[in-house]
């Protein structure tokens, strides 16, 4: 596998760099190099939106300026993450070739403007991308300064133009073979929506069809497939010029427009752009934001089973949050350490130099309009640079995880489009986080897999709300349990097949009802202000409370061949009493739990942590962590364990250490206690 680490065996410290905005300011470009060196920056992401400068007129390619900048950077020890420019098409192109402009679901074609808005099908746009990428590849694919290809930018969106409609129909023909099959999969006899000719099929639209759930799902799958195909077209000339130069694409946290997992076979390394709304609470408790951020880092690390790159984060503030608060003193270091802790091999920023005009002129940057180095941001960025420079041994280190939670994009699409049983947020992501939170707080490392990934290596697999269940996934879940895995299934699982057609017969379908020994009866969704109660009849672990609150979705099940651990305990005589909520059953060498309702957070902590302990699942650091303090571990190639300790609160905290640790930066040793100041963080090794 190609690795950027071969060229530069250091943690990457970099930023989006847009010299094309400053080509008529050579003194600024010169100054940039000096400032980058001062900040300890060893790479820049360059060329991201530079198409108009690279091809100012059709076929008039101007790559010399880029070449000069890449060379000068390199002479100064700064490498390039070279982007393809397809994320923003030049104005001349959009006017000359209207077909490359995206058409929205209302069938209105964009005027030229903005970015990330080209058609993925247009043969003209694909050709233009291939041509510019060929030029870039000829010039730079074997350049020693170039570490990595950065494909486009934040790949996203969908196009409903006539070309895309036709491609969609072709894609459907290849998938279904006949209209009869398609009509069956889409259940079109409902409301007389039967198609009698392929030409009648159109993408979902608020002005037309939105009710065929199978069509909605296929449209999202098609948009994903078209994006993947476009991506393959983008990278073909790059890989032809140098198959060993790795490619990445920068993902957006929890973006659900396309299924990013389908891009992975074409990617060498995953990267993401991390912009949590830090400092949006009144009490300074940042654990909610940190948890969201860490969960997406865990997703990115699990995607290819190796470290990811943090491609963008703001060194201070964004300019697009509701209120754009700058990172408070010390917070950049803390949030950077959190990324390293979860598997990042880089800290990169948007942006190096603050642009002077247009809509991002007030976005945070390493170098602000003042151009000074004594700003707090510049100083803190330099501090991160210094820290990264001492962490060569961490490059490529893994995050060992014995627990996984399943989060699957197709399931997410389907369950949120289902029309019932709860249209005010069915809560699949909420339930994911109810599982994630206790592990995160206790310092138990978690991988996040999708339904297609191999889960056989995990001791514990949590599967919240797998509404869309493929037979093949069910078979792997059954095999997982038989071979000794511990599986937790929840309400609203195994309800529909891959077409969003409800399974007939007992559910959870495809053998999961038998596996769990339970059978679905009915669902009682609750309003946000309502709750029901569960009572533990056979508490699986000591120290669990007698009762817990339930909310959002309460399912009634029959326990046919499972041990009932908890039941509904509702005072209201109109609500069921005594019916199972939590069950357990053994199968082969493993066991399966079924949780029939959304339980309050405390239940998840009280249940999951002793369960993990009973399975001998290791914590990153065998210590009890105060609230808001995180501990993570990475193991380097030579076996060295690195520990990452983070305080997400405004209160000083102390960790009682199970063994002495030494701060890798300062060399300071901690025997029994490790104090963390407000928003403090350290990286340590066993002494």
Query: CA–CA separation, 293 vs 220, rounded Å?
Result: 25
* Residue 312: CB minimum distance to ligand GLA, A: 5
Tell me the per-residue interface mask from 167 to 196 with ligand GLA, x by CB under 6 A, - otherwise: ------------------------------
Could you tell me the two tokens for 477? 């879940």
Longest dimension (CA), the chain: 79
Residue 460, binding choice from Zn ion, ligand GLA, none, Cβ under 5 to 8 Å by partner class: none
Residue among 137 and 164 whose Cβ is closer to Zn ion: 164
The dihedral through the CA atoms of 106, 110, 111, 113 has a sign that is positive
Closest CB to ligand GLA among residues 318, 490: 318
312 catalytic residue (yes or no): yes
Instruction: Mark residues 366-385: x for contact with ligand GLA by CB under 6 A, - for none.
Output: --------------------
To Zn ion, the closest distance from the beta carbon of 227 in angstroms equals 11
Q: How far apart are CA 28 and CA 179, in angstroms?
A: 62
Instruction: Reduce the secondary structure of 599-624 to three states and give it as a string.
Output: ECHHHHHHHHHHHHHHCCCCCCCCCC
Residue numbers 505-534 binding ligand GLA by CB under 6 A: none
Q: Tell me the closest approach of the beta carbon of residue 275 to ligand GLA, in angstroms.
A: 6
Separation of alpha carbons 634 and 459, rounded Å: 19
Residue entry with tokens 């120290």: 543
Measured CA to CA, the distance from residue 217 to residue 423 in angstroms comes to: 17
Q: From the list ligand GLA, Zn ion, none, pick the one residue 619 interacts with, judged by a Cβ distance below 5 to 8 Å according to partner type.
A: none
* Residue of the chain from 20, 110, 154, 410 that contacts ligand GLA (CB under 6 A): 154
CB of 57 vs Zn ion, minimal distance in Å: 25
Task: Decide: helix, strand or coil at residue 579.
Answer: coil
User: 286, 312, 555, 618: which one is catalytic?
Assistant: 312
Q: What is the rounded distance in angstroms from the CA atom of residue 349 to the CA atom of residue 142?
A: 25
Q: Spell out the residues 6+ positions from residue 323 whose beta carbon is closer than 8 angstroms to its own.
A: 280
Question: Residue with the closest Cβ to ligand GLA?
Answer: 273
Residue 349 or 643 with smaller CB distance to ligand GLA: 349
Among Zn ion, ligand GLA, none, what binds residue 154 when CB lies within 5 to 8 Å by partner kind?
ligand GLA
Find the shortest distance in angstroms from Cβ 95 to Zn ion: 17
Pick what 161 binds: Zn ion, ligand GLA, none; C-beta below 5 to 8 Å, kind-dependent: Zn ion
CA atoms within 13 A on the CB side of 226: 29
Q: Which of Zn ion, ligand GLA, none is residue 625 near (CB under 5 to 8 Å by kind)?
A: none
- Structure-token pair, residue 466: 């797998």
Measured from the CB atom, the residue of 226 and 450 that comes closer to Zn ion is 226
**Alpha-carbon distance 368 to 377, whole Å?**
9
Query: Per the residue annotation, which of 20, 55, 154, 158 is the catalytic one?
Result: 154
Hey, which residues does 271 pair with through a beta bridge? 250, 309
Strand duo 271-273 + 250-252: pairing:
parallel
Q: Which of residues 275-334 bind ligand GLA (CB under 6 A)?
A: 275, 312, 318
Does 20 help bind ligand GLA (rule: CB under 6 A)? no
Residue 359 beta carbon to ligand GLA: minimum distance, rounded to whole angstroms: 9
Sequence-distant (6+) residues with CB within 8 A of 37 are 76, 77, 78
| Coil/strand/helix, residue 590 | strand
Q: In this structure, are residues 459 and 402 in contact, taking their beta carbons and an 8 Å threshold? A: yes
Other CB atoms within 10 A of residue 686 CB: 13
> Measured from the CB of residue 118, what is the shortest distance to ligand GLA in angstroms?
15
Selection from 266, 285, 255, 638 nearest residue 441 by Cα: 285
Residue 389: closest CA among 346, 351, 349, 350: 346
294 binds, among ligand GLA, Zn ion, none (CB under 5 to 8 A by kind): none
Report d(CA 489, CA 527) in Å as an integer.
23
Question: Is 92 one of the binding residues for ligand GLA (CB under 6 A)?
Answer: no
Partner interacting with residue 534 (select from ligand GLA, Zn ion, none; CB below 5-8 Å by kind): none
Q: Min. distance of Cβ 269 from ligand GLA in angstroms?
A: 17
Residue number with CB closer to ligand GLA (13 or 363): 363
Q: Considering the complex, what minimum distance in angstroms separates the CB of residue 107 from Zn ion?
A: 11
Q: Residue 354 or residue 649: which is nearer to ligand GLA going by CB?
A: 354
Using CB atoms within 10 A of its CB, is residue 384 exposed (0-12), middle (13-18) or buried (19+)?
buried
Q: Structure tokens of 227?
A: 């994006």
Using CB under 6 A as the binding rule, whether residue 363 contacts ligand GLA is answered as: yes
Rank residues 336 and 490 by Cβ distance to ligand GLA and give the closer one: 336
Nearer to ligand GLA, 55 or 312 (CB): 312
Min dist CB 115 to ligand GLA, Å, is 8
- Out of 308, 331, 350, 407, the only residue in the binding site for ligand GLA (CB under 6 A) is 350
DSSP annotation string for 292-338 = HHHHHHHHHHHHHTS-EEEEE--SS--SSSSS-PPPPTTHHHHHHHH
Out of 86, 117, 153, 377, which residue is the one contacting ligand GLA (CB under 6 A)? 153
Q: Is 575 a catalytic residue?
A: no
The interface partner of residue 159, options being ligand GLA, Zn ion, none and the CB cut-off 5 to 8 Å by kind, is Zn ion
| Sign of torsion over alpha carbons 291, 294, 300, 302 | negative
| 8 and 43 Cβ atoms separated by less than 8 Å | yes
Number of residues that bind ligand GLA (CB under 6 A): 9
Residues that bind Zn ion (CB under 5 A): 119, 121, 159, 161, 163-164
Return the percent helix, strand and coil in the chain, to nearest 5: 35, 20, 45
Task: Report the DSSP pairing between strands 563-568 and 547-559.
Answer: unpaired
Output 158 or 273, the one with its CB closest to ligand GLA: 273
| Residue number, 315 or 508, with CB nearest to ligand GLA | 315
For 83, the enclosing helix (H) or strand (E) is strand 79-83
Q: Which does 164 bind (CB under 5 to 8 A by kind): ligand GLA, Zn ion, none?
A: Zn ion
d(Cα 343, Cα 309) in Å, to the nearest integer?
8
Q: Which is nearer to Zn ion, 119 or 212 (CB)?
A: 119
Smallest distance, Å, CB 390 to Zn ion?
49
Cite the beta strand spans of 491-577 per DSSP E.
Answer: 518-525, 532-536, 547-559, 563-568
Residue with tokens 């059953």: 585
Sequence-ordered list of residues with C-beta below 8 angstroms from that of 183, at least 6 positions apart, any chain: 189, 194, 195
Q: How far is the CB of 15 from ligand GLA (least distance, A)?
A: 11
344 vs 469, beta carbon nearer ligand GLA: 344
121 binds, among ligand GLA, Zn ion, none (CB under 5 to 8 A by kind): Zn ion
How many whole angstroms separate alpha carbon 120 and alpha carbon 230?
6
The one of Zn ion, ligand GLA, none whose footprint includes residue 363, by CB under 5 to 8 A per kind, is ligand GLA
Q: Which residues bind ligand GLA (CB under 6 A)?
A: 153-154, 273, 275, 312, 318, 350, 360, 363
Catalytic residues: 154, 312
């Amino acid at each position: 596998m190609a690795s950027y680490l071969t060229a530069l065996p250091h943690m990457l410290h970099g930023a989006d760099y847009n010299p094309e905005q400053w080509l008529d300011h050579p003194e600024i470009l010169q100054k940039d190099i000096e400032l980058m060196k001062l900040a300890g920056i060893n790479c820049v992401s360059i060329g991201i939106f530079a198409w108009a400068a690279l091809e100012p007129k059709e076929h008039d390619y101007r790559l010399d300026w880029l070449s000069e900048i890449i060379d000068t950077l390199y002479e100064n020890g700064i490498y390039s993450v070279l982007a393809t420019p397809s994320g923003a098409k030049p104005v001349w192109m959009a006017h000359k070739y209207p077909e490359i402009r995206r058409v929205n679901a209302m069938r209105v074609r964009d005027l030229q403007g903005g970015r990330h808005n080209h058609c993925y099908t247009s043969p003209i746009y694909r050709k233009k991308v291939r041509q510019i990428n060929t030029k870039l590849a000829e010039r730079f694919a074997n350049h020693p300064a170039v570490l990595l290809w950065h494909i486009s930018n934040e790949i996203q969106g969908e196009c409903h133009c006539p070309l895309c409609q036709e491609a969609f129909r072709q894609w459907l023909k290849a998938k279904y073979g006949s209209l009869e099959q398609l009509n069956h999969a889409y259940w079109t006899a409902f409301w007389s929506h039967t198609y009698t000719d392929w030409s009648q099929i159109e993408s979902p639209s608020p002005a037309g069809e939105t009710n065929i759930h199978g069509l909605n799902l296929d449209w999202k799958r098609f948009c994903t497939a078209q994006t993947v195909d476009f991506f393959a077209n983008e990278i073909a000339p790059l890989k032809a010029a140098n198959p060993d130069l790795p490619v990445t694409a920068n993902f957006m946290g929890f973006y659900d427009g396309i299924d990013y997992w389908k891009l992975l076979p074409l990617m060498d390394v995953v990267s993401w752009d991390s912009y949590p709304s830090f400092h949006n609470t009144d009490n300074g408790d940042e654990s909610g934001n940190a948890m969201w951020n860490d969960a997406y880092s865990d997703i990115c690390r699990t995607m290819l089973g190796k470290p990811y790159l943090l491609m963008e984060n703001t060194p201070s503030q964004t300019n697009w949050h509701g209120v754009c608060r700058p990172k408070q003193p010390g917070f950049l270091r803390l949030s950077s350490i959190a990324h390293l802790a979860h598997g990042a091999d880089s800290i990169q920023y948007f942006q190096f130099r603050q642009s002077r005009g247009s809509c991002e002129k007030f976005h945070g940057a390493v170098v602000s309009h003042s151009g000074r180095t004594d700003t707090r941001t510049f100083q803190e960025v330099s501090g991160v640079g210094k820290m990264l420079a001492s962490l060569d041994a961490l490059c490529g280190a893994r995050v060992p995880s014995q627990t996984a939670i399943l989060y699957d994009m197709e399931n997410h699409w389907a369950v949120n489009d289902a029309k019932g049983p709860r249209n005010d947020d069915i809560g699949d992501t909420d339930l994911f986080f109810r599982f994630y939170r206790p592990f995160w707080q206790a310092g138990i490392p978690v991988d996040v897999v999708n339904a297609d990934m191999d889960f056989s290596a995990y001791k514990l697999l949590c599967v919240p709300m797998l509404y869309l269940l493929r037979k093949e996934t069910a078979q792997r879940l059954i095999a997982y349990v038989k071979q000794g895995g511990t599986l937790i299934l929840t309400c609203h699982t195994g309800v529909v097949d891959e077409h969003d057609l409800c399974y007939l017969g007992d559910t959870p379908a495809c053998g999961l009802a038998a596996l769990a020994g339970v059978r679905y009866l009915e669902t009682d969704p609750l309003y946000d202000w309502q709750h029901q109660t569960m009572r533990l009849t056979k508490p699986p672990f000591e120290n669990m409370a007698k009762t817990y609150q339930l909310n959002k979705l309460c399912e009634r099940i029959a326990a046919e061949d499972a041990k009932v651990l908890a039941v509904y305990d509702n005072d209201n005589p109109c609500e069921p009493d005594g019916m199972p909520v939590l069950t357990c059953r053994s199968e082969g060498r493993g066991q399966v739990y079924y949780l029939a309702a959304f339980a309050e957070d405390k239940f998840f902590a009280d249940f999951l942590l002793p369960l993990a302990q009973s399975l001998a699942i290791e914590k990153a650091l065998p210590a009890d962590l105060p609230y808001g303090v995180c501990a993570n571990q990475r193991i380097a190639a030579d076996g060295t364990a690195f520990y990452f300790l983070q305080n997400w609160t405004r209160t000083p905290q102390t960790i009682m250490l199970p063994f002495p640790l030494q701060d890798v930066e300062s060399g300071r040793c901690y025997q029994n206690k490790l104090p963390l100041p407000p928003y403090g963080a350290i990286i340590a090794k066993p002494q």
